[in-house]
Chain A
Amino acid sequence: MNPASPRSLLLTVLTRTGPLLALILLVAIVSALSPDFRKTENFFNIANQMSFVGIVAIGMTWVIILGGIDLSVGSMVALLGGLGIYAMNAVAERSGSPAWGIAAGAAIMLLGGPILGAVNGMVVIWGRVAPFIVTVATMAAFRSIIMYNAEGSEIRSAVSSFADLGSGGFKLEFLHSSRGLPILLGFPTLFFLGAALVGELLLKKTVLGRRVYATGDNPIAARYAGVPVNRVTMIVYALSGLTCGLSALLNSSRLNSIASSSTGQMYELDAIAAVVIGGTSMTGGKGSVLGTVVGVLLLGVISNMLTMLGIPNYIQGLVKGCIIIGAVLIQRTQQR
């Protein structure tokens, strides 16, 4: 195994680019079929629309590399977003300052996330319950708490400036949409890409990251090798909660509300799909955040494409399913 040999170098490149290859292929095909799809602003839209589930998928990557799973993410986004808006509205009203309200709401979401994640982690570690069961249970429980409080309805922000975070962005003066307006690089996109970069660096360049891979690869061996498996597990579930908090913050700001029943629904499945498309192994020990980013974008391109090509509603699921399987197959052949 000489790392410098051309053959292994080629293999590494292909493994790394497997999901990317699928994405490029799909974008090329759809671009050829639909001139509207090719519009610059469309790609920015896709990235921005996928940011909310994308941020969650970063945490999910960590959890899956660890050998776990977190099905509670969607419910967590709804719960954190809802509680945050309650706090924001209350503080803004008492203090008369929207800024304090937003700070309080953001604090609840970003601090509450790791706490809820740690709850998952605790039951997994000390209850010795399979992560699948723990997070199925908390998925039901988190959703139920916020639906009970809101009686199933929407929780609305009373602070109008709060919406700027989710809907705003930087105007790219050098890029113009087909209507001649400067294109907006949305804050959610920036947070998504930023979080992905941090997530990838932490995973690849730190002791914690190496411990996550080791635990996911073989938890018993990792324990013998002196990895504090419990602590690592706790941190990873808390990080997953943190990404839910960030997603909740951007999502609630984007829609200026949280729908207690529907916000974050199916996030867990989209996130898991993105992680797997991105080349992370469901059995743990292998994978990368950058792959997940590609997986997220691929899912975004698929759902955008279904509308752009005018594919009838009822058949969209079939098309989506086939492309996902195709993407995973491309990625797998590259890995061999």
Chain B
Amino acid sequence: MLKLASIVVGLSLLAANHSLALVEPAAPAPEAAQPAKAKKPKIGVSVPAADHGWTAGIGYWAKKAMELHPECDWVYATASGPEKQIADVEDMMTKGIDALVILATESAPLTPTAKRIHDQGILIVNVDRGFINQEDEPAIADIFLEGDNKAFGCKSAQFVAEKMKKENRTNLVILTGIPCTVDTDRVTAAKEVFAQYPEIKILDTQAAHWNRQKGLEVMQTLLTKHKKIDAVWAQDDDILLGAMQAIKEAGREQEMFIVGGAGMKDVVKMVMENHPMVPANITYPPSMIATGIHMAASAMRDGKKAEVLQFMPKHLMMDVELVTPQNAKQYYFPDSIY
């Protein structure tokens, strides 16, 4: 109990110190004038709470990357929604962070907060979900790192469509994720691809919420509804595992193949081992948060932020890769939790 109390007191003192320094930036406290080496940069990492496998992977890779950089002080928080995330980030400001790595729960609500922080001279590395920039103003994020959701939809759909064409398959079912911009980008891109193959018939598009149980239930219903399904484009590996179980239970494994996405280790393993139902996968690595953390640390650790930022990329689009039995090995991380 005493220990807890002293931690609380210590933290609030720390916070008070830093907020004072923020109010009067013109008169630097004597400690701040000490050689830059002595002071560790403090970096905040704000990510969505684990609500499905992929976001759990984000947490795993964030922790891993932070451990690699003990030369920085890390403040880590997970948020279940935009309101909590704004509060998290404000708390981090009170704690006196010098840089922020953020994967936004939602783009629009986080934008004003991010802008306010950036205006105070805090380095911002934005991962995956971008802020909304005004055209006549400088970008809010110093570095923006995103996965290519359109390519995610497009490449996996391309694979499915080609395989269907080659094997004379026509009936397709689409399972989508939690309704949001990421999901829309992927599904729209995929549907554009499928539209180029007139022989492919989309039987149904149903939401399975990036969730195994939902995948199982929705697929079970679709199997009852449709006599013949040739392929399932499931977009996500949690959904894939649920849907596969439904297909197996219905005894219809021979009838269709299924392509998920995001590179869950179990599914990559299936691809690697030439699983007849799972011919391919597509990466959307949660390790991208680690890339962002690594970049923030390397920009901050020598106290030469301005110089480093001169050559750091402003915008990085990480390509997504099609995983096939030939290359699956390089995407298989048995120790990862995702």
Give A45 to B221 CA distance when docked, in angstroms: 8
Give A83 to B22 CA distance when docked, in angstroms: 46
Give A198 to B133 CA distance when docked, in angstroms: 60
A93 at the interface (CB under 8 A from B): no
A307 and B49 contacting across the interface, CB-CB below 8 Å: no
Mask, B189-226, CB within 8 Å of A = 1, is 00000000000000011110001110011101110111
**Shortest CB–CB separation between residue A23 and chain B, in angstroms?**
18
**Shortest CB–CB separation between residue A274 and chain B, in angstroms?**
16
A308 and B245 contacting across the interface, CB-CB below 8 Å: no
In the complex with contacts A41-B224, A307-B218, A147-B206 CB distance below 8 A = no
In the complex with contacts A153-B53, A153-B338, A262-B213, A255-B245 CB distance below 8 A = yes
Residues of B within 8 A of A45 (CB): 220-221, 224
B179 at the interface (CB under 8 A from A): yes
B337 at the interface (CB under 8 A from A): yes
Give A34 to B221 CA distance when docked, in angstroms: 13
The A290-336 residues at the B interface (CB cut-off 8 A) are 303-304, 307-308, 310, 313-314, 316
**Shortest CB–CB separation between residue A263 and chain B, in angstroms?**
7
B251 at the interface (CB under 8 A from A): yes
B176 at the interface (CB under 8 A from A): yes
Residues of A within 8 A of B249 (CB): 167
Q: Which of A263, A303, A304, A310 has a CB less than 8 Å from the CB of B213? A: A263
Nearest neighbor of A154 in chain B, beta-carbon distance: B53
A136 at the interface (CB under 8 A from B): no
In the complex with contacts A308-B221, A313-B206, A261-B49 CB distance below 8 A = yes
Residues of B within 8 A of A151 (CB): 50, 56, 59-60, 337
Residues of A within 8 A of B338 (CB): 153
Residues of A within 8 A of B57 (CB): 153
A15 at the interface (CB under 8 A from B): no
B221 and A304 contacting across the interface, CB-CB below 8 Å: yes
B50 and A152 contacting across the interface, CB-CB below 8 Å: yes
Residues of B within 8 A of A152 (CB): 49-50, 55-56, 59, 78
In the complex, number of A-B residue pairs with CB atoms less than 8 Å apart: 88
The A159-211 residues at the B interface (CB cut-off 8 A) are 167, 178, 181
A230 at the interface (CB under 8 A from B): no
Residues of A within 8 A of B245 (CB): 167, 255
Give A255 to B59 CA distance when docked, in angstroms: 23
Central interface residue in B206, B211, B225, B242, by most chain A CB within 10 Å: B225
Central interface residue in B50, B78, B224, B227, by most chain A CB within 10 Å: B224
In the complex with contacts A42-B224, A151-B50, A308-B225, A259-B211 CB distance below 8 A = yes
A257 and B212 contacting across the interface, CB-CB below 8 Å: yes
A49 at the interface (CB under 8 A from B): yes
A61 at the interface (CB under 8 A from B): no
Question: Count of A residues near B, CB < 8 Å?
Answer: 33
A260 at the interface (CB under 8 A from B): yes
B55 and A313 contacting across the interface, CB-CB below 8 Å: no
B50 and A147 contacting across the interface, CB-CB below 8 Å: yes
Give A247 to B256 CA distance when docked, in angstroms: 31
Give A42 to B205 CA distance when docked, in angstroms: 19
Q: Which of A251, A263, A307 has a CB less than 8 Å from the CB of B204? A: A307
A223 at the interface (CB under 8 A from B): no
A261 and B179 contacting across the interface, CB-CB below 8 Å: no
B24 at the interface (CB under 8 A from A): no
The B221-272 residues at the A interface (CB cut-off 8 A) are 221-222, 224-227, 238, 242, 245, 249, 251
Give A151 to B57 CA distance when docked, in angstroms: 9
Central interface residue in B51, B60, B217, B249, by most chain A CB within 10 Å: B217
Residues of A within 8 A of B59 (CB): 151-152
Residues of A within 8 A of B224 (CB): 36, 39, 41-42, 45, 178, 308
Central interface residue in B56, B78, B338, by most chain A CB within 10 Å: B56
**Shortest CB–CB separation between residue A260 and chain B, in angstroms?**
7
B52 at the interface (CB under 8 A from A): yes
**Shortest CB–CB separation between residue B204 and chain A, in angstroms?**
6
Mask, B90-127, CB within 8 Å of A = 1, is 00000000000000000000000000000000000000
Give A254 to B176 CA distance when docked, in angstroms: 22
Residues of B within 8 A of A181 (CB): 251
**Shortest CB–CB separation between residue B12 and chain A, in angstroms?**
23
Known: A153-B56, A259-B212, A307-B222. 13 other contacts (CB 8 A): A147-B50, A150-B56, A151-B56, A152-B49, A152-B50, A178-B224, A178-B227, A255-B212, A260-B50, A303-B217, A308-B224, A313-B176, A313-B205
Instruction: List 7 A-B residue pairs with CB atoms under 8 Å apart, sorted by A's residue number.
Output: A36-B224, A39-B224, A45-B220, A151-B56, A153-B50, A257-B212, A262-B211
